[in-house]
Chain A
Amino acid sequence: MSTLKQLASKFLGHDSVFARRTAGGIQPPPFKEHSLRSRIMSTPIPPQLTIPIGPESSGEITRLVDIADQVLKYQKLAVISFSAKGRSDVPVHAPTSGVITSIENSIVADHSQQQQLCINLTVDGHDEALLLKPHTNHSQLSSADLVALIRDAGVIGMGGAGFPTADKLSAYSVLPIEFLIINAAECEPYISADEALLRERANRVVLGAEILKRACAAQRCIIAIEDTKPDAIAAIKQALLNEASNQQCCELVIVPSKYPAGSEKQLIQCATGIEIATGQHPTEHGIIMHNVGTAYAAYEAIIEGKPCISRFTTLCGQALKTPKNFEVLIGTAVGFLFELCGIEANKKQKSIVGGSLMGSELGNDKAATCKTTNCLIAASSNELQAPKAERACIRCGYCADACPSKLLPQQLFAFSKTLDTTQLLEHGILDCIECGACDYVCPSQLPLVSTYKESKKLIETRRQSLEYSDYWQQRFQFRQYRVKKEKDQALSRKLDAPLQSMQAAERAPKNKNNEADFISKEQASRDIAAAVARVKARRNEKNK
């Protein structure tokens, strides 16, 4: 088999890893060309930054600065500790220098759109920075050092999940890691940040991938990219050639373009052929996946010694005159970015954070960008409108054909309507990755994904209430048991005096404080011995 593959790879000029078929998927028009027309730009420093630290519920937040403090660029502002969840800390750094004016809850442009505790920084414009400690030769550092540096730089998953990168990496200490997969399959329409990054800075991404590979002690590193991105593929190939001295640090696998090819478990199956079972973690199969942006952040964290203070964000939508990809300082207001792209305010109908299929509508353009804000869409009134002609499900099954998890969305929908949680679970609603592929193809234009989200919530509350009632039932049963036991004991005490005396003897040492004044220790032990002897004698008699 492998020789066949080698032969094929010779002819096709690909690397030795082949993409495998995954279930379902759709091919929506990508709308990426507009934002890819210009190069990545750095934003000018905005006058005000609202740096999200994290939702208060997420972990314990240690503030390292206070209101009215003067901070420098790269200075650590706060640390969120996830120790309660068994994760490590994530620090947050100042993207530029300035004065802290307030610390309060405000809305952040990410998928959940919860209020997060944010540090408001009034920028002084000097951009005075702390001195960085670059490590140009990363091969001298051990895995643990690399992980520690990455943790200290506050790098989190840039793909959207926002899981602390260091935690993912340190899985190697428990399980051997075979594959590190760099996810460049940016399949969702509108988002082009990763593609732009690869086109322009593939060298650094590849270097970052190498760092990640060493940090998690992976045997192989695979960069998975969709076949619709020829420029990025060429750039990676070039970068891999440049790194050739390092003998094959990474392999390239070109996956067929479809949505959601970039979803974690789907991409793993596509790139390695391994199907991760429900409830399993990829690390159990020796696989770790990181996003391209994360690899870039790792590069910056090690080679430049720079903490994570910016990210790449796509700005697009028909209401923008010049859509493009920006290197955005964390904490920049969405509205500020829209302004930079020449927004036509009267044309804008809504703002969306994230892509067109999994994003969510942003209520307020004052929201601050965070480390997971990958795309911002200023949609005009003739794009991305929710279809209005909702009809009954005609059971055409298009949704099932599109579902990457091989679920039956039509059945899930029917069971959601009847609130049949047993059937919902049976039909695998918890395996729904909320990708929206079913929604996209449904000719009846049903709001399938929102329905599933509601159902999942319902299942969760039912489960909780069940747990709650179980808890109280247990308490109640235990009380009954205890009452009964006490009664029984009282009864047996009355009936069986010797037993009682034995119990008293047992209790005696424990009740020392009360009785020690009257009975000496030896006396007590003598008494006990005598009592025990008496009981034994009586038992023997009885037995005879």
Chain B
Amino acid sequence: MSALQAGAPFQHSGRNITQLMQTLMYALLPGIFASLWFFGFGILINIAIAITFAVLAEAAMLRLRNRDIRSHLGDRSALVTALLFAIAIPPGSPWWLVALGIVFAIVIVKHLYGGLGQNPFNPAMCGYAMLLLAFPLEMTGWHIPFEVITEPQSTDNLGILILTAEREFLSPLSWGGFKQALLLAFPFVASGVIDISEFVDGLAMATPLIEFKMAGKSAILAARESGASLFARESETAWEIINISYLFGGLFLLYKKIISWHIPLAIIATVFVLAALFYAPGSVAIYGTPYLHLFGSATMIGAFFIATDPVSAATTRPGKLVYGIVIGVSIYAIRVWGSYLDSIAFAVLFGNFCAPVLDQYCRPRIFGHGLRSKSRPNEAPVNRE
């Protein structure tokens, strides 16, 4: 049997999974840098912890499953999962939180379902959702390093600190910021040396979403109106800038043809349309402007990086569009009517849940199938001069 089996085609585009994952990581860089700028070293520490545990967990699972560790680890898919997960986790989270989440993601969500290509759910988002359900308190505060000059005045009814003008930002990129981030991540190092409880409380900042439900104005616009620098940490433009960075990363992926436009466009369009429909200037506080829905929270990273994870997404073109719409609706619904603080993870998981059905029922029309009527020669659509 033979020569034929030896297999055409002989030529290959040279693309491989490693390249794909690598490009994905590059595309995440702008967003990561923006986060680094605004939130300090917390995110890098998250990434470092997540990658370490992801690699360990992946290697262990590959070993258990009798796969070649070198080559499978080399495809970088575990690294991408770790990166996406680390970005989603609030900076300044304790190390065990990050470790637990990523190990859950790699071991249970990825490998117990059959490894790369087989997992029906997005591992990073599953890990995130698990943590959100199990440790809601730890997952809701975003820490910004700053030195407390005067004691905070009050807290709102949710028990979250209302930030007042009395705080003084410590540059998150300074040595002090780094130390704080480190201590937050590894509290056991600090115990006995300093009493960290003081600044742990003081550092909690509202998650973007809460801020969002309360405020209702673009921070970038506000900053421009007040003449503040867009990149100054005080101007609270952080989320918008970060989202825009992820948007650029996403556009880079589109340009590189790593992802197709269907899912991001469907999500963004859906969120935009819903936000525009429900937006009523009187009740800004509840619904938020379309702009804030797109750029005020994690919509961009969700649309370009998380929902497009190929393994767990719908794979047909029409399916991708529907999948994006499902996620977009879920994002908006969870945000506005739901009680969870973050919507992306659950929305994506819900989309994952629908994906197999979408793949089965939303299929493109096969070439030469389902033609309505046989067009006869004399109807050939060519001009006949």
Hey, which bits of chain A sit against chain B, CB under 8 A? 1-2, 5-6, 16-17, 23, 26, 28, 112-113, 175-179, 189, 265-266, 272-280, 284-287, 352, 354, 356-363, 379, 384-387, 389, 391-398, 400-401, 404-408, 410-411, 427-428, 431, 434, 436, 439-445, 447, 449-450, 453
Contacts and interface: CB of A to CB of B under 8 A. Distances in A.
A442 B310 CA distance: 13
Interface in B276-326: 310-311, 313, 315-317, 320
A326 B46 CA distance: 64
Given A2-B383, A431-B368, A408 B316 contact: yes
Given A396-B20, A405-B367, A440-B11, A391 B6 contact: no
B9 interface: yes
Contact of A395 (B313, B364, B366): B313
A444 B344 CA distance: 28
A201 to B, nearest CB: 28
A391 B116 contact: yes
Interface string B1-34: 0111111111111011101100000000000000
A441 B320 contact: no
B8 A449 contact: yes
Nearest to A5: B383
By CB atoms of chain B within 10 A, which of A176, A189, A266, A274 has the most?
Answer: A274
Given A17-B382, A397-B310, A26 B13 contact: yes
A176 B378 CA distance: 10
Contact of B17 (A356, A411, A440, A443): A443
B115 interface: yes
By CB atoms of chain A within 10 A, which of B71, B115, B369, B377 has the most?
Answer: B377
A8 to B, nearest CB: 11
By CB atoms of chain B within 10 A, which of A266, A362, A406 has the most?
Answer: A406
A23 B365 CA distance: 11
B369 A400 contact: no
A285 B282 CA distance: 62
Nearest to B369: A278
A392 B116 CA distance: 7
Interface in B362-385: 363-369, 371, 374-378, 380-383, 385
By CB atoms of chain A within 10 A, which of B117, B260, B311 has the most?
Answer: B117
A287 B368 CA distance: 15
Contacts of A265: 367-368
A396 B259 CA distance: 8
Interface string B239-255: 00000000000000000
A285 B365 CA distance: 21
Interface of B: 2-13, 15-17, 19-20, 71, 75, 77, 115-118, 260, 310-311, 313, 315-317, 320, 359, 363-369, 371, 374-378, 380-383, 385
Nearest to B11: A356
12 contacts: A113-B4, A175-B377, A266-B367, A272-B381, A285-B377, A360-B3, A395-B311, A396-B20, A397-B315, A398-B15, A431-B369, A443-B19
Contacts of A28: 11, 13
Contact of B317 (A177, A400, A443, A447): A400
B7 A406 contact: no
B8 A354 contact: yes
Contacts of B320: 397
A284 B77 CA distance: 50
A78 B35 CA distance: 79
A379 B13 CA distance: 17
Contacts of A287: 377
A119 to B, nearest CB: 23
A277 B374 contact: yes
Given A387-B12, A394-B310, A286 B377 contact: yes
Contacts of A179: 380
A278 B377 contact: no
Contacts of A387: 12, 16
Given A440-B9, A441-B15, A273 B317 contact: no
By CB atoms of chain B within 10 A, which of A189, A360, A395, A445 has the most?
Answer: A395
Nearest to A407: B366
Contact of A449 (B7, B75, B77): B7
A274 B310 contact: no
Nearest to B364: A406
B315 A400 contact: yes
Nearest to A114: B4
B369 to A, nearest CB: 6
A55 to B, nearest CB: 14
By CB atoms of chain A within 10 A, which of B8, B13, B77, B385 has the most?
Answer: B8
